[in-house]
Amino acid sequence: MGTCERPFAWSEIHHLIPWARGGDTDLDAIPLCSWHHHRAHDPRWHLTQHPLRGWELRARERRSRRPGRPQG
Ligand SMILES: [Zn+2]
Ligand SMILES: [Zn+2]
């Protein structure tokens, strides 16, 4: 069921493939709570589907900042 700890009853169905591209099957639909669902649609986050372990949501890496560099 993925990494979400919310009760299943709270979940919303998220389609990995938009309907516009023909993703109207059960295979691409996964239950997410609204917290994870919002992030699944956020370009800063990346949702990966695992065949056996459900899904995983990760924040994309940012390249804009370097850690620990003093200015000047
Ligand atoms: Zn969705
Ligand atoms: Zn969740």
Using the mean position of ligand 1's atoms as its centre, give its distance from the Cα of residue 55 in Å.
13
**Domain interval for residue 42:** 8-59
Whether the per-residue pLDDT at 26 is higher than 80: the answer is: no
Of residues 12 and 66, more confidently modeled: 12
- Split into its structural domains, the chain has a count of 1
Predicted TM-score (pTM) of this structure? 0.62
Using the mean position of ligand 1's atoms as its centre, give its distance from the Cα of residue 39 in Å.
9
Whether residue 3 lies inside any domain: the answer is no
Whether residue 40 lies inside any domain: the answer is yes
Dist CA 35 CA 8 (whole Å): 13
> What pLDDT digit, counting tens, does each position of 41-54 carry?
999 999 888 777 77
Of residues 52 and 72, more confidently modeled: 52
Whether residue 51 lies inside any domain: the answer is yes
Which ligand has an atom closest to residue 16 CA? 1
Count of other CB atoms within 10 angstroms of residue 1: 12
Whether the per-residue pLDDT at 5 is higher than 50: the answer is: yes
